[in-house]
């Protein structure tokens, strides 16, 4: 099943969609099997550049897509060493039959057994290539290396790591110290992170978290938790959260201040998730399905004291949570996203009241979507100035052990553009 998922991602499907389709097509899949399929799919895509090079070295004639994916998932399982190697090889051979290509059973068997015999040399050769060593497409490696000559290897390494599970404590319901005491009483190891964050030592299902259903905590990366504080909304303000789904930042804003909030997103299915998030936490906001590049179509002539623009982007800063992103994105996507970001900035700036502030945010590490985008915006809008923020001082938060990669720029709308 995992090989089908990997093959679909290689064909252009998102990992979430491919997993959902695999489970739907297979009917009643037991929870342990679902977990195993998901783990193997994620692991294979996390190491895709490496195992892809290995598959190239082992297969003298390129196999069809599903068999290639089968080889890659089997190699990933063999490298993990969680089960007997012979059992893994036998299961891969059986899977070739289930894929409807029984004639390739001998090929799969021969390739995997050759890998076991020559593993050290084959892995060394794969590691000698950039894609094999850094587990990213070459164009991505080149761009990160050019943009961050001192940090590029750590950025790529962070994108290949397992992400932490971080919670945000809802201060309307409890305190962080109080919640950490509840975790300790439940035998859940955790540590404080940031202003309201709690990092769990080990990920766990949200339904097993004390107080989750009651709205005491939400799952949110520590880097994403910076947004609401940077926006600086205070009681009585009108606040717009644009491109708001799934609603975590909207909720955090409401945790920090009593404001009149509007959350808009263009995707109706994702807007439903905003409502679910707010309902669980006990908050109320105007939730709208709409195109943020055309605000008049959903808000008329309304203007706002604060606007959070969490812009669509390549998501290059959160690749460790979505390992398929590295292989679904193309270099030309950066310019496509930058064009959308520009349109959003220009449209929403007109809805910011004089003296108000807009926080421009992405989960990208590519400068064209971040600092370069903001510089171009400032050149078009003389009434805008970029304010200094404490963290991250440059605006660019690079992915690291405790947080994903984000960019923030706080923009002030001056009363007098000439002043």
The tokens describing 160, both together, are 């290949």
Q: Which one of the listed residues 243, 299, 313, 363 is annotated catalytic?
A: 363
Q: What does residue 76 show for φ and ψ, rounded to 5 degrees?
A: -60, -45
Using an 8 Å Cβ cutoff, are 189 and 165 in contact? Answer: no
For residue 207, what are its two tokens? 């339904």
Rg (CA), the chain: 24
Cα–Cα dist 31/92, whole Å: 21
How far apart, in whole angstroms, are the C-alpha atoms of residue 353 and residue 385? 14
Counting Cβ atoms within 10 Å, is residue 116 exposed (0-12), middle (13-18) or buried (19+)?
middle
Interatomic CA distance for residues 401 and 320, integer angstroms: 11
Distance, in Å, from the CA atom of 400 to the CA atom of 166, rounded to the nearest integer, reads: 13
392 cis-preceded (ω within 30 degrees of 0):
yes
Active site (annotated) includes residue 303: no
- Strand ranges, E, within 92-224: 166-169, 190-193, 197-200, 217-219
Q: What is the enclosing helix (H) or strand (E) of 353?
A: strand 352-362
Q: Please check whether residue 48 is in contact with residue 127, taking contact to mean a CB–CB distance below 8 angstroms.
A: no
**Residues 6 or more apart in contact with residue 284 via CB below 8 angstroms:** 278
Q: Tokens 């089968």 — which residue? A: 70
Do 311 and 377 contact (CB within 8 A), yes or no?
no
Helix (H, G, I), strand (E, B) or coil at 71: helix
Number of H helices, E strands in the chain: 18, 12
Catalytic residue list = 363
């Amino acid at each position: 099943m995992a090989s089908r998922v990997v093959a679909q991602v290689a064909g252009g499907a998102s990992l979430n969609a491919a997993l959902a389709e695999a489970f739907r097509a297979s009917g009643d899949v037991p929870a342990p099997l679902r977990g195993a399929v998901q783990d193997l799919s994620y692991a294979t895509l996390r190491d895709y550049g490496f195992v892809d090079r290995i598959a190239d070295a082992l297969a003298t004639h390129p196999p069809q897509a599903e068999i290639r994916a089968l080889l890659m998932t089997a190699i990933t399982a063999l490298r993990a060493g969680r089960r007997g190697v012979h059992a893994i090889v036998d299961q891969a051979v059986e899977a070739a039959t289930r894929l409807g290509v029984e004639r390739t059973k001998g090929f799969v068997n021969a390739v995997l057994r050759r890998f076991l015999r020559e593993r050290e040399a084959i892995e060394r050769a794969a590691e000698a290539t950039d894609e094999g060593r850094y587990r990213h497409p070459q164009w991505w490696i080149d761009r990160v290396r050019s943009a961050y000559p001192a940090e590029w290897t750590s950025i790529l390494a962070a994108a290949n790591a397992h992400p932490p599970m971080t919670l945000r404590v809802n201060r309307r319901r409890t305190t962080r110290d109080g919640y950490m005491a509840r975790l300790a009483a439940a035998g859940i190891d955790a540590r404080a992170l940031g202003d309201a964050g709690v990092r769990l030592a080990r990920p766990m299902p949200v339904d097993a978290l004390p107080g989750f259903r009651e709205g005491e905590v939400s799952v949110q990366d520590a880097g994403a938790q910076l947004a609401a504080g940077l926006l600086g909304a205070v009681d009585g303000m009108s606040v717009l959260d644009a491109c708001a789904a799934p609603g975590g930042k909207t909720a955090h804003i409401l945790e920090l201040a009593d404001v009149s909030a509007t959350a808009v997103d263009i995707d109706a299915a994702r807007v439903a998730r905003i409502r679910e998030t707010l309902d669980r936490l006990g908050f109320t906001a105007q939730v709208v399905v709409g195109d943020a590049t055309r605000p008049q179509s959903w808000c008329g002539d309304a203007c706002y004291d604060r606007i959070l623009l969490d812009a669509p982007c390549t998501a290059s800063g959160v690749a460790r949570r979505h390992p398929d992103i590295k292989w679904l994105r193309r270099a030309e996507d950066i310019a496509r996203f930058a064009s959308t970001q520009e349109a959003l900035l220009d449209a929403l700036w007109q809805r910011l009241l004089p003296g108000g502030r807009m926080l421009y945010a992405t989960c990208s590490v590519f400068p064209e979507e971040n600092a370069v985008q903001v510089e171009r915006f400032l050149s078009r809008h003389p009434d805008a100035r970029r304010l200094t923020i404490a963290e991250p001082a440059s605006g660019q938060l690079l992915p690291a052990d405790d947080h994903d990669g984000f960019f923030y720029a706080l923009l002030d709308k001056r009363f007098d553009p000439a002043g």
